[in-house]
């Protein structure tokens, strides 16, 4: 086989980025825009020893799961990867992926998984779910300002102004900002030259409060005609916070360090509700969060409520427990847990997130949480290995009833896992955004004396290849 060869390929699997995967003469091929069930003619675009990358030359027989995507720009835009796959099949694909990883990497048997896995939790309406959007700004070929998204794997801006994953308010805001740029001749940023001013438009929307935040990321220290922008934006119902963020670095990182509020509040408020895990209806327990432009906040609030409510249910709290919440971010899970636990200890590596966690605890009048900045694999062992005389509180910290973890994609550090085992909590709740590292870590915990009791996948990112999971481990009585 050589580059540009054309060959038949049946797509039998999909990768995390939604690329189709098929085998031809012992080689594995990854093909963008090909879906499970497609029979295609592929063109080889890049070849390695045992695998290669292909392009769809022709769809010979379309997958039965193919649908007409709602977004006409979905193939060009880098945002959605599997919009052409029916939503039911997206969910099946994600559930299968979790199951396969738990079997292949975690070494769990089909029967074991049959007994513990609950059906994947999807969205009723898998569109307009995102509460945050960041639009790069540039010029189109007529020299008019455009805002949109980057094309897959490039920095060309495609004018996707009414992205169907975001709220309809986004388009209204983008139109106002572009008109203002034209009226006051405010230049868009030019990435190749490092010149111009407006780099990105960041919009956040509180799903429960309907509060809106707009933050312009600029390549400069001040915003000319800022008051004129405010006058236009504040007419939009729900507008709560208008700011600019200074980023003069030539980097792909969107936000710079300093943010200046020019109208309204420096943050918006939103609530996350606890849900009844039987039917995911809302209970009356809600936690309020202040969200500033820089805060980390889950982007799919509806699914987050379902995921965290399930994590809380798995934790099995009665009010007496002490709990560690590792990788706690702004304390979203910790604050939920605190309502049903005696004491919650959160650990997170980003200092600003811990500041947010502390102020969110205060905002909700929560007094039984304590937050620590640092790596989970350092903070936890430091507490465990402390050999000083013990009072009851520190003994509870060394031997908590429950440990919850929600690590980034690379999973937990080994030293973190071995310390968790040494602490011997009754239950471990593992929330994961990568089922491969989840499977690897679960194997270590199960071999260390725990039993996998429950596992459930959640679709947080419809139309992408990503899937979240929550699992419950119970200590074996030995």
Contact residues toward ligand SAH (CB under 6 A) are 296, 298, 327-330, 332-333, 347-350, 353, 375-377, 406-408
Q: What angle do CA 158, 159, 160 make, to 5 degrees?
A: 100
> What is the smallest separation between the CB atom of 202 and ligand SAH, expressed in angstroms?
18
> Of the two residues 34 and 287, which places its CB atom closer to ligand SAH in the complex?
287
> What is the smallest separation between the CB atom of 389 and ligand SAH, expressed in angstroms?
28
CA–chain centroid gap for 347, Å, is 19
Instruction: Tell me, yes or no, if 433 is annotated catalytic.
Output: yes
> What is the smallest separation between the CB atom of 327 and ligand SAH, expressed in angstroms?
3
> What is the smallest separation between the CB atom of 94 and ligand SAH, expressed in angstroms?
19
> What is the smallest separation between the CB atom of 462 and ligand SAH, expressed in angstroms?
19
Residue 378, classed as helix, strand or coil, is helix
Cα(120)–Cα(187) distance, rounded to whole angstroms? 46
> Of the two residues 298 and 338, which places its CB atom closer to ligand SAH in the complex?
298
Q: Distances in Å between the alpha carbon of 278 and those of 121, 281, 308, 309, 313? A: 11, 8, 13, 10, 10
> Of the two residues 113 and 349, which places its CB atom closer to ligand SAH in the complex?
349
Cα(417)–Cα(376) distance, rounded to whole angstroms? 10
- Could you give phi then psi for residue 271, rounded to 5 degrees? -120, 145
Q: Which residue is associated with the tokens 């990788």? A: 327
> What is the smallest separation between the CB atom of 379 and ligand SAH, expressed in angstroms?
8
> Of the two residues 136 and 329, which places its CB atom closer to ligand SAH in the complex?
329
Name the residue whose CB lies closest to ligand SAH.
Answer: 329
Which residues, in sequence order, are CB contacts of 267 under 8 Å at separation 6+? 213, 241, 290, 291, 292, 295
> What is the smallest separation between the CB atom of 377 and ligand SAH, expressed in angstroms?
6
Q: How crowded is residue 306: how many other Cβ atoms within 10 Å of its Cβ?
A: 21
> What is the smallest separation between the CB atom of 395 and ligand SAH, expressed in angstroms?
23
> Of the two residues 375 and 396, which places its CB atom closer to ligand SAH in the complex?
375
Confirm if 256 and 246 have CB atoms less than 8 A apart: yes
> Of the two residues 174 and 433, which places its CB atom closer to ligand SAH in the complex?
433
Q: Distances in Å between the alpha carbon of 282 and those of 30, 405, 434, 445? A: 41, 24, 27, 33
> Of the two residues 298 and 418, which places its CB atom closer to ligand SAH in the complex?
298
Residues in the chain: 478
> Of the two residues 23 and 375, which places its CB atom closer to ligand SAH in the complex?
375
Cα(467)–Cα(91) distance, rounded to whole angstroms? 9
Confirm if 131 and 204 have CB atoms less than 8 A apart: yes
Q: Which is nearest to 209 in space by CA: 241, 244, 234, 177?
A: 241
* Catalytic pick among 163, 215, 328, 433: 433
Cα(419)–Cα(405) distance, rounded to whole angstroms? 13
Confirm if 408 and 468 have CB atoms less than 8 A apart: no
> What is the smallest separation between the CB atom of 166 and ligand SAH, expressed in angstroms?
20
Tokens of 331: 């304390």
Cα(216)–Cα(189) distance, rounded to whole angstroms? 12
Cα(382)–Cα(405) distance, rounded to whole angstroms? 17
> Of the two residues 348 and 441, which places its CB atom closer to ligand SAH in the complex?
348
- Which pairs with CB-CB distance under 8 Å and at least 24 residues apart come from 183-189? 183/228, 184/224, 184/225, 184/228, 186/224, 186/225, 188/137, 188/138, 188/139, 188/145, 188/146, 189/137, 189/138, 189/218, 189/219
**Residues assigned a catalytic role:** 433
């Amino acid at each position: 086989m050589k580059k540009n060869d054309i060959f038949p390929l049946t797509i039998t699997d999909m990768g995390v980025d939604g690329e189709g995967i098929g085998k031809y003469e012992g080689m594995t091929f990854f093909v963008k825009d090909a879906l499970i069930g497609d029979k295609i003619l592929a063109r080889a675009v890049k070849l390695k020893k045992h695998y290669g990358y292909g392009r769809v030359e022709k769809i010979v027989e379309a997958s039965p799961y193919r649908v007409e995507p709602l977004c006409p720009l979905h193939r060009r835009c880098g945002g959605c990867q599997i919009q052409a796959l029916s939503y039911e099949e997206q969910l099946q694909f994600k559930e299968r992926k979790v199951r396969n990883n738990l079997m292949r990497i975690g070494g769990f048997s089909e029967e074991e998984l049959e007994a513990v896995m609950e059906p994947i939790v999807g969205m009723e309406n898998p569109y307009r779910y995102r509460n945050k959007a960041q639009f790069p700004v540039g010029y189109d070929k007529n020299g008019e300002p455009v805002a949109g998204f980057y094309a897959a794997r490039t920095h060309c801006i495609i004018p996707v102004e009414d992205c169907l994953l975001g709220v309809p308010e986004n388009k209204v805001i983008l139109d106002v900002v572009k008109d203002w740029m034209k009226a006051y001749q405010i230049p868009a940023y030019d990435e190749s030259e490092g010149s111009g001013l407006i780099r990105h438009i960041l919009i956040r929307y509180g799903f429960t409060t309907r509060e809106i935040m707009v933050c312009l990321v600029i390549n400069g220290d001040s915003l000319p005609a800022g008051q004129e922008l405010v006058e236009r934006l504040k007419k939009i119902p729900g507008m709560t916070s208008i700011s600019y963020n200074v980023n003069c670095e030539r980097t792909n990182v969107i936000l710079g360090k300093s943010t200046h509020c020019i109208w309204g509040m420096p943050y918006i408020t939103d609530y996350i509700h606890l849900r009844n895990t039987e039917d995911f209806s809302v209970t009356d327990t809600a936690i309020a969060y202040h969200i500033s432009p820089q805060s980390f906040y889950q982007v799919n609030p509806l699914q987050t409520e379902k995921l965290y409510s399930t994590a809380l249910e798995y934790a099995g709290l009665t009010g007496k427990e002490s709990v560690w919440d590792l990788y706690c971010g702004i304390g979203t899970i910790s604050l939920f847990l605190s309502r049903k636990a005696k004491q919650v200890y959160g650990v997170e590596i980003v200092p600003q997130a811990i500041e947010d966690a502390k102020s969110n605890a205060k905002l909700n009048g929560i007094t039984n949480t304590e937050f620590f900045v640092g790596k989970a694999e350092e903070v936890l062992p430091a507490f465990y290995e402390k050999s000083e005389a013990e009072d009851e509180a520190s003994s509870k910290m060394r031997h908590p009833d429950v440990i919850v973890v929600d690590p980034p994609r690379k999973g937990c550090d080994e030293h973190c896992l071995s310390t968790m085992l040494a602490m011997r909590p009754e239950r471990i709740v593992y929330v994961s955004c990568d089922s491969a590292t989840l499977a690897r870590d679960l194997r270590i915990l199960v071999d260390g004396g725990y039993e996998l009791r429950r596992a459930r996948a959640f679709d947080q990112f419809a139309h992408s290849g990503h899937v979240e999971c929550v699992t419950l481990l119970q200590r074996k009585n030995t």
